[in-house]
Amino acid sequence: MIIMIYACDEKNAIGKNGDLPWRQSTDLQHFKTITSGGTIVMGRKTWDSLPGKLPNRRHVVLTRSDRSDVETATFDEIIEMAKSQDLFVIGGGEIYELFLPYTQIIYRTIIHCTVNQPDTFAPEIDESVFALDEHNFVEKSQRDQYDMTFQKLSK
- The whole-angstrom separation of Cα 105 and Cα 77 is 20
- Rounded to 5 degrees, φ, ψ at 80 are -65, -45
pLDDT tens per residue across span 66-92: 777 899 999 999 999 999 999 999 999
DSSP string, 29-52: HHHHHHHTTSEEEEEHHHHHHSSS
- β-pair partners for 103: 2
Domains of the chain: 2-154 (3.40.430.10)
* Contact in structure between 8 and 109 (CB atoms under 8 Å): yes
Q: Quick one: pLDDT at residue 66?
A: 77
Q: Quick one: pLDDT at residue 101?
A: 98
pLDDT tens per residue across span 121-131: 999 999 999 99
Q: Quick one: pLDDT at residue 14?
A: 97
Q: Quick one: pLDDT at residue 3?
A: 99
Q: Quick one: pLDDT at residue 63?
A: 86
Query: What number of residues does the chain have?
Result: 155
Question: pLDDT truncated to tens, each residue of the chain (155 aa)?
Answer: 999 999 999 999 999 998 899 999 999 999 999 999 999 999 998 998 898 899 999 999 998 777 778 999 999 999 999 999 999 999 999 999 999 999 999 999 999 999 999 999 999 999 999 999 999 999 999 999 999 999 999 99
Q: Quick one: pLDDT at residue 153?
A: 99
Which residues lie closer than 8 Å to 68 by C-beta, 6 or more apart? Answer: none
DSSP 111: E
Q: Quick one: pLDDT at residue 65?
A: 79
